[in-house]
Amino acid sequence: MISQKLFILRHLRSTKAIFISFGGYWALVPTMMGKIMGIPVYIILNGTDCASIPSLHYGNLRKPLLKAICGFCYRHASMLLPVSDSLISIKNTFYSSSDEKEYFQGYRHFFPAIQTKNKTIYNGFDTSLWHQLPEIKKEENSFIAVFSQKQYILKGGDLIIEVAKQNPNYKFYIAGCTQPSTVDKNSNVIFLDRLTSEELKQYYSKCQFVLQLSIFEGFGCSLCEAMLCECIPIGSSVNMIPEIIGDAGFVVNERNAEQVEKAILSAIAIEDKTKLGKMARQRITENYSLEKRTFSLLETINNKN
């Protein structure tokens, strides 16, 4: 926080705006200084900063002190820039829990009195970086999912393992995660650990399908990257995921292995998978390009609205 303060003071004269990625402890000093010095402060909301799911130990807003700091920053920012409308307010029914509050997410659910202006600016992706590698051929009946060790349940790792056991002829790759000690070794599930962007692109190019079975997902960056590499998407019916997928893939409405398997079998049955994969890429290119995000951010700074 001291470093932040000194940095802002050194660059005060040349600072036109302060941008903060994610609400959290790190947002406190820049928000306060921007408010005091009359510099516009924009907080980009990405997901966990608008959520509280205690049963999964997920969401900044489940921790009282962190929630209070987020609330303070959201109230005093010049504008909030969520990457999807679902981070403003959303009711998710994909995940069943005894705590009904977990169905409702978004910063307005937790801070209903906040009047700060907001503007949704979707994430943007470099379409020249993420693409199907021509030298790699799609592997039949292959799936990829991307999540970390801590996100194993949140992103549906348990569902993937269950479905894989029932479908030994399908291959499942999980990037970003090593095999949990609680999971039996399964020959058709390969844990890839952390990968570089180039390595990840190779696996996207290799796999026919991408799985995004999240319980909560601010946007779904790995989903978009995989779709740009012509992976057919299969995702949960939460937040922004169905909108990203559109008519280029399949949506699972309930969090259970039977429903996931049903979606997978429907995807496998598609005759022209190449065509659907290209539709998936086109959907991201047309709606979520880096150029569109750049334009919207610059427009926001220049117009201050």
Q: Which residues of 28-42 are buried (b: 16+ CB within 10 A; e: fewer)?
A: bbbbbbbbeeebbbb
pLDDT for res 303: 82
Task: Print pLDDT tens along the chain (305 aa).
Answer: 899 889 888 988 888 899 999 999 999 999 999 999 999 999 999 999 999 999 889 999 999 999 999 999 999 999 999 999 999 999 888 886 655 455 789 999 999 999 999 999 999 999 999 999 999 999 999 999 999 999 999 999 999 999 999 999 999 999 999 888 777 777 799 999 999 999 999 999 999 999 999 999 999 999 999 999 999 999 999 999 999 999 999 999 999 999 999 999 999 999 999 999 999 999 999 999 999 999 999 999 888 65
Q: How far apart are CA 238 and CA 248, in angstroms?
A: 17
Assess whether 143 and 222 both reside in one domain: yes
SS3 of residue 34 by DSSP: helix
C-alpha span between 87 and 44 (Å, rounded): 11
Residue 220 belongs to domain spanning: 139-288
**What is the model's pLDDT at position 264?**
96
Query: Do 143 and 283 lie in a common domain?
Result: yes
Q: Are residues 98 and 190 located together in one domain of the fold? A: no
Residues 98 and 163 in one domain: no
d(CA 177, CA 243): 27
Q: How many domains does the chain have?
A: 2
Nearest CA to 78 out of 49, 40, 44 is that of 40
Examine residue 133 and state whether it is found in any structural domain, yes or no: no
Position 97 scores a pLDDT of 61
Q: Is residue 132 one of the residues assigned to a domain?
A: no
Please report whether residue 165 resides in a domain.
Answer: yes
State whether 101 and 16 are in the same domain.
yes
Same domain, 96 and 157: no
**Residue 163 shares a structural domain with residue 274:** yes
Cα angle 232, 81, 93 (rounded to 5 degrees) comes to 50
Residues 179 and 277 occupy one common structural domain: yes
Q: Tell whether 143 and 272 lie within a shared domain.
A: yes
User: What CATH number has the domain bearing residue 265?
Assistant: 3.40.50.2000
Q: What is the pTM of this model?
A: 0.91
Based on the fold, state whether residues 191 and 239 are members of the same structural domain: yes
pLDDT (0 to 100) of residue 305: 52
* Residues 110, 97 share a domain: yes
CB 154 within 8 A of CB 171: no
In a domain, 8, yes or no: yes
Say which residues have a Cβ less than 8 Å from residue 94's Cβ, sequence separation at least 6: 215, 236, 237, 238, 252, 253, 254, 255
Contact 211, 144 (CB under 8 A): yes
Q: Give yes or no: residues 100 and 160 share one domain.
A: no
